């Protein structure tokens, strides 16, 4: 009997059948279950994230090689992860999106190899790498090969670090060793229904006896508000993709490029509202985000880690179309003091901005570092030093605005002239001193106050004299620690002009493998 040779039409038809079957993932029943849980499938997430019709898939026909524990011949379409390249707002990105409908998105040898290939492609092309996590964890049936795969992902996370932006989206479970890959990336976006932890509730109960839920230890509230692991919380998958797209709009594709520049206003007019936006009385609080909104384009500020260490505010914005990183003390929370968490939060953000050529704008209203036994035992010296290190090591344009309080070591840590700030300006309301007038007078004039006929009146008199002499911007300006004292209304214009002037800044540092930040 003569062998039938398939025609090209038959071969193409076979190809299309295979593709359709694989693209269905774990099948319609599992897709329906994913939808019922309020989640999109892997391919739906990619379609929402990327520009229309821009996705070019890689590794569609990849299959596992495991033969243990009933895995031989068991189909795992695309091995549980969809990988490829596409564009966001016309700019190239590479991505990997775990498919929970296929084996619970479990990660094995081939699964991890697909992710690593996209990471390496990202590195070669200088494009951001995005990974969507939705996985039950390591594929236990593959044993050491699964662990090895994770190790290769971690290694490549480090290779990409500081070269291309890395963004992790947690849209489902992310447990055990799998959680360390997002931790190695630059930003983590977690949906409200997702959980991320190293050890789950059952393990914790078995080891420590503590009873907790997955939400309590791994939900977005825990990982944003308490641990500070997560940078953005999304309502659902679509919101997570929108946050990711917005974040990318502020970032360059790699460390050799500048961030995208948007159109700028033709003329910047003085903003008189800034003259009265903060209380003159340094004991009164205000929300520094109101100041930020008046300084940046279209009041568009993308705050990072909004609910963690709220005594400091960080995030991205634009000034005359140029991306900037904002670091600002928050007087409405703990009077804006620097503590352990605030120092870590700011230092990490400063280092990211420096790695990706994003100028830093620092808004200062800080009474000092938080005193207390708990802070000292927790290592406030080591953590506070991270800010000193991060700002000192940064070579991007650094512009500092001293709005009100700027006391002691915290004044230095908020990018003072002595940490090589390129421009330091002050508002007339600034109080730049070693410490607040009340504390300084109690130390310097202790004996004089005690001997006075009316100690209380004498103390107030000395406080007023101290403020007049030292708690002003003019003493610092006379010593050239402040470049100029300006009317608050002129701040946006000053920042825009300074960013233009400093855009071509080049700074060279001593040759070394890397500095040793106090971790």
Which secondary-structure segment (H or E) carries 315?
strand 312-319
Q: Exactly one of 104, 136, 409, 436 is catalytic; name it.
A: 409
pLDDT of residue 1: 56
Q: Is residue 187 a contact partner of residue 150, using CB atoms and an 8 Å limit?
A: no
pLDDT reading at 180 higher than 80: yes
Q: Exactly one of 410, 413, 440, 476 is catalytic; name it.
A: 410
Residue 177 annotated to the active site = yes
pLDDT of residue 175: 86
Tokens of 38: 């309020």
Residue 410 annotated to the active site = yes
pLDDT of residue 2: 66
Nearest alpha-carbon partner for 332 in 288, 380, 393, 394: 288
Nearest alpha-carbon partner for 365 in 316, 342, 332: 332
Q: Is residue 325 a contact partner of residue 345, using CB atoms and an 8 Å limit?
A: no
Q: Is residue 387 a contact partner of residue 345, using CB atoms and an 8 Å limit?
A: no
Across residues 78-82, what is the average pLDDT?
Answer: 93
| Whole-number Å distance between alpha carbons of 207 and 227 | 21
- Tell me, yes or no, if the pTM score tops 0.85: yes
What's 358-373 look like in SS3? CCEEEEEEECCECCCH
Q: Exactly one of 143, 176, 321, 378 is catalytic; name it.
A: 176
Model confidence pLDDT, tens digit, residues 102-159: 988 888 889 999 999 999 999 999 999 999 999 988 787 877 888 899 999 999 999 9
pLDDT of residue 322: 97
Model confidence pLDDT, tens digit, residues 243-286: 999 999 999 999 999 999 999 888 899 999 999 999 988 889 99
Q: What percent of the chain has pLDDT over 90?
A: 76
Find the angle CA(450)-CA(451)-CA(455) to the nearest 5 degrees. 55
pLDDT of residue 421: 98
Q: Is residue 243 a contact partner of residue 236, using CB atoms and an 8 Å limit?
A: no
Place of tokens 């932890």: 197
3-state DSSP call for residue 263?
coil
Q: How far is CA 247 from CA 86, 241, 251, 317, in A?
A: 16, 10, 7, 10
Residue 37 annotated to the active site = no
Strand partners, 406: 366, 432
3-state DSSP call for residue 55?
coil
Nearest alpha-carbon partner for 132 in 32, 237, 208: 237
| Whole-number Å distance between alpha carbons of 80 and 506 | 46
| Whole-number Å distance between alpha carbons of 426 and 403 | 6
Model confidence pLDDT, tens digit, residues 61-71: 888 787 777 77
Q: Exactly one of 126, 143, 177, 228 is catalytic; name it.
A: 177
pLDDT of residue 3: 74
């Amino acid at each position: 009997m003569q062998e039938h040779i398939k025609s090209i039409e038959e071969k193409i038809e076979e190809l299309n059948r295979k593709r359709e079957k694989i693209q269905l993932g774990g099948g319609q029943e599992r897709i329906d279950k994913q939808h019922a849980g309020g989640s999109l499938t892997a391919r739906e997430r990619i379609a929402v994230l990327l520009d229309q019709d821009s996705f070019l898939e890689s590794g569609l026909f990849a299959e596992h090689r495991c033969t243990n524990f009933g895995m031989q011949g068991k189909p795992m379409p695309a091995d549980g992860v969809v990988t490829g390249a596409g564009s966001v707002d016309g700019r190239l990105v590479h991505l990997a999106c775990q498919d929970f409908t296929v084996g619970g998105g479990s990660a094995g040898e081939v699964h991890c190899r697909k992710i690593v290939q996209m990471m390496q492609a990202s590195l070669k092309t200088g494009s951001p790498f995005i990974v969507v996590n939705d996985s039950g964890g390591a594929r236990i049936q593959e044993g050491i090969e699964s662990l090895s795969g994770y190790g290769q992902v971690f290694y490549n996370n480090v290779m990409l670090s500081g070269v291309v932006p890395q963004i992790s989206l947690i849209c489902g479970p992310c447990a055990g060793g799998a959680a360390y890959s997002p931790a190695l990336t630059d930003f983590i976006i977690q949906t409200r229904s997702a959980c991320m932890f190293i050890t789950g509730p059952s393990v914790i109960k078995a080891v420590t006896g503590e009873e907790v839920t997955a939400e309590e230890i791994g939900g977005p509230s825990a990982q944003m508000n308490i641990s500070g692991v997560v940078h953005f919380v999304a309502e659902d998958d679509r919101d997570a993709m929108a946050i990711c797209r917005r974040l990318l709009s502020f970032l360059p594709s790699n460390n050799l490029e500048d961030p995208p520049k948007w159109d700028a206003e033709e003329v910047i007019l003085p903003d008189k509202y800034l003259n009265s936006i903060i209380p003159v009385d340094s004991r009164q609080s205000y929300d520094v985000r109101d100041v930020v909104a008046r300084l940046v384009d279209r009041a568009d500020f993308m705050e990072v880690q909004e609910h963690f260490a709220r005594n400091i505010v960080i995030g991205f914005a634009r000034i005359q179309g140029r991306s900037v990183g904002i670091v600002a003390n928050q007087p409405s929370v703990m009077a804006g003091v620097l503590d352990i968490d605030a120092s870590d939060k700011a230092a990490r953000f400063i280092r990211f901005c420096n790695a990706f050529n994003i100028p830093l704008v620092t808004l200062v209203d800080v009474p000092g570092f938080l005193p207390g036994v708990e802070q000292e035992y927790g290592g406030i010296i080591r953590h506070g030093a991270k800010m000193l290190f991060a700002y000192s090591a940064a070579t991007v344009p650094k512009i500092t605005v001293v709005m009100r309080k700027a006391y002691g070591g915290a004044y230095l840590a908020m990018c003072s002239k002595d940490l090589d700030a390129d421009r330091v300006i002050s508002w007339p309301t600034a109080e730049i001193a070693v410490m607040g007038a009340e504390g300084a007078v109690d130390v310097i004039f202790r004996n004089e106050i005690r001997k006075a006929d009316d100690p209380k009146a004498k103390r107030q008199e000395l406080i007023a004299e101290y403020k007049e002499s030292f708690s002003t911007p003019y003493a610092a300006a006379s010593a050239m620690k402040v470049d100029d004292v300006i009317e608050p209304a002129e701040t946006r214009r000053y920042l825009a002009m300074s960013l233009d002037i400093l855009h071509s800044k080049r700074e060279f540092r001593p040759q070394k493998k890397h500095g040793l930040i106090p971790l």
